[in-house]
Amino acid sequence: MPDGTSATGEPLVRIRGAAKRFGALTVFENVDLDVHESEVVVLIGPSGAGKSTLLRCVNGLERLDGGTIDIGGERLGYRESALNRMRRHVGMVFQNFNLFPHMTVLGNVTCAPAKVARRPYREVEEEARGLLDKVGLADKCDVYPSSLSGGQRQRVAIARALAMHPRLMLFDEPTSALDPELVGEVLDVMRALAAEGMTMMIVTHEMRFARRVADRVVLVADGGIAEQGPPETVLDAPRTARARDFLRAVLEH
Amino acid sequence: MEWFSDFVDTAPTFLQALWITLQLALWSIVLAAVLGGVLAFLRLSRFQAVRMLAAGYISLIRGTPLVTQLFIIYFGLASIITIEAFWAGVIGLTAHNAAYVAEIYRSGIQSVPTGQIEAGRSLGMSKWTTLRLVISPQALRTVLPSLGNQFIIAVKDTSVAAFITVAELFRTAQIVAAEKFRPLEFYVIVGVYYLVIVLLLSGAVRALEQRLGRYNV
Ligand SMILES: Nc1ncnc2c1ncn2[C@@H]1O[C@H](COP(=O)(O)OP(=O)(O)OP(=O)(O)O)[C@@H](O)[C@H]1O
Ligand SMILES: [Mg+2]
């Protein structure tokens, strides 16, 4: 599906004619984008192009000014209760981790499933320990986030989001705040997640990661989607001048 | 050793007064902690009229002397409603402290980074749950020193209730000093009573800070 909109079956995320403005600034308009079950979509583009904003619109942290977003066939609205229900199924990982500093690592991971989804704590805790083991932090359950490295914090943040059993994971530059030597451990976790079939939308500047993991790369620029397609096409043989300019700028350093 | 015998002789009277001071302080601090929360909530409302109302109340309280506020409630309202002096004191001190506590809460809430709120919301927490689980614990940790400070001021400010006839520590000192013609001794003695309460309270606040300080950001 090179244009990203034609496919068999209902997409998990269907964005149609999306527009977002901040006052006089139009960040993007007429954005159409589908993300299918188990697909990994990587969003790239110049700074300020609106990648974060688009991602944040998908879980309602930002409100669209036009167009629609459907997740799992359900129209995204802005009624508090509907929004809260939808967000349980959409995990988000932030550039700055945003772990809760007053909770232990285990507390961070168990908090939402226990107190939002109200699942029995025993079951939640057992699963949280499993998730922390999966991201390589089984021995860090009882420490506070302040004692962790950036890479460890981001892996906890991923485990925290996974604890809600999301159908979709959003990542906004998950490795941009990390020292270079810590990037790999986070990308490894994400790659494993992709291999398990998790549906993911990822904003990143890690081009090598995009090439290896993305099913589709979407270039966000000039107020919309400038080009999209499989990584081999968008990254190696871009069709648009916009994409060539951007890639040249990125690859220069 | 006049000082010492003055202290011992009047101890029963002062201890009775101390009990009234403590009740006055406890009631007004607990009620102000609650009312201050409501005020802070209104102060951060998304409706401008509500925000302005709360802000107006706070600047009115902060802009006028406590003694004036107590006189209005006890003497001023006497023609409309008679309130027992003790409860007039509780109402006045609560109304007064709540304004300061509200500002402290507000600064604490605003000190929590938006990323924390977004993290909570993106996990499906409602606004209320986010406030309860994410914002309040962090805000409380941040403002605990200022809050403790305000409560210490509140304890000392109960002495103003002396002027609306509440038989608390300071009024008792005034009466005893006048009876015995020894103002220096009894005003110093009453000062010591306040000092002891404040030192105990400061110790409690510090202990609480340490307990909550296990994590650092
Ligand atoms: N809350 C906001 N209020 C006003 N303008 C905003 C707000 N958030 C983002 N913007 C603006 O919208 C535009 C898109 O921002 P966005 O953060 O989505 O870009 P981005 O593609 O993620 O960039 P970067 O790669 O630097 O993270 C920018 O011009 C930014 O200044
Ligand atoms: Mg961004």
Residues of chain A in contact with residue B138, where contact means CB-CB under 8 angstroms, are 100-102
Atom 1 of ligand 1, residue of closest alpha carbon: A22
For residue A1, what pLDDT band results from cuts at 50, 70 and 90? very low
> A84 to chain B: nearest residue by CA?
B124
Beta bridge mates, A83? none
Reduce the secondary structure of chain B to three states and give it as a string.
CHHHHHHHHHHHHHHHHHHHHHHHHHHHHHHHHHHHHHHHHHHCCCCHHHHHHHHHHHHHHHCCCHHHHHHHHHCHHHHCCCCCHHHHHHHHHHHHHHHHHHHHHHHHHHHCCHHHHHHHHHCCCCHHHHHHHHHHHHHHHHHHHHHHHHHHHHHHHHHHHHHHCCCCHHHHHHHHHHHHCCHHHHHHHHHHHHHHHHHHHHHHHHHHHHHHCCCCC
Say which residue, A247 or B60, is predicted with more confidence: B60
Q: What is the pLDDT of residue A215?
A: 96
Q: Is A21 in the pocket of ligand 1 (CB under 6 A)?
A: no
Report the half-sphere exposure of A127 (CA within 13 A, side-chain side): 19
Handedness of CA B82, B85, B90, B96 (dihedral sign): positive
pTM of the predicted structure, to 2 decimals: 0.88
Is any atom of ligand 1 closer than 6 Å to the C-beta of A100? Answer: no
Mean pLDDT by 10 residues, chain B (217 residues): 83 94 97 96 94 97 96 92 93 97 96 97 96 95 94 96 95 94 92 96 92 70
**Residue A195, pLDDT above cutoff 80:** yes
Q: How far is A187 from B194, CA to CA, in rounded Å? A: 60
Q: What is the pLDDT of residue B1?
A: 57
Cβ of A48 closer than 6 Å to ligand 1, yes or no, is yes
Find out whether the beta carbon of A197 lies less than 6 Å from any atom of ligand 1. no
* C-alpha of residue A54 to centroid of ligand 2, in Å: 9
Specify the pLDDT at position A4.
Answer: 45
Q: What is the ipTM of this complex?
A: 0.92
- Has residue A95 got a pLDDT over 90? yes
Cα distance between the two ends of chain B: 54
Report the pLDDT averaged over residues A97-120. Answer: 97
* Residue B101: other Cβ atoms inside 10 A: 26
Is residue A5 pLDDT above 50, yes or no? no
Number of compact structural domains in chain B: 1
Give the Å distance between the CA of A61 and the centre of ligand 1.
13
- Residue from the list A100, A117, A145 with its beta carbon closest to the beta carbon of B134: A100
The Cα B103–Cα B36 span in angstroms is 8
CA-nearest residue, atom 26 of ligand 1: A47
Please answer whether residues A3 and A162 qualify as being in contact, where contact means their C-beta atoms are separated by less than 8 angstroms.
no
Pairing of strands A13-22, A66-71: antiparallel
Q: Determine the pLDDT at residue B9.
A: 87
Query: Rounded mean pLDDT of chain A?
Result: 93
**Fold (CATH) for A36-57+77-252:** Rossmann fold (3.40.50)
Q: Is the pLDDT of residue A241 over 60?
A: yes
B126 interaction partners in chain A (CB closer than 8 Å): 80-81, 84
Percent of chain A at pLDDT > 70 equals: 96
Plot region of A17 (φ>0 → left; ψ -120 to 50 → alpha; else → beta): left
Alpha-carbon distance of B174 to B162, in angstroms, equals 9
**d(C-alpha A143, C-alpha A148), whole Å:** 8
- The Cα–Cα gap between A150 and A246 comes to 28
User: What CATH number did the domain enclosing B23 receive?
Assistant: 1.10.3720.10
Q: Which residues of A touch B (CB under 8 A)?
A: 59, 61, 80-81, 84-85, 87-88, 90-92, 94, 96, 98-102, 111-112, 115-117, 144-146, 160-161, 164
> Which chain B residue has the Cα nearest residue A148?
B217
> Residue A6 — pLDDT band, cuts 50, 70, 90?
very low
Say yes or no to pLDDT of A3 above 60.
no
| Domain housing B31 | 2-215
Confidence at residue A66, expressed as pLDDT on a 0 to 100 scale: 94
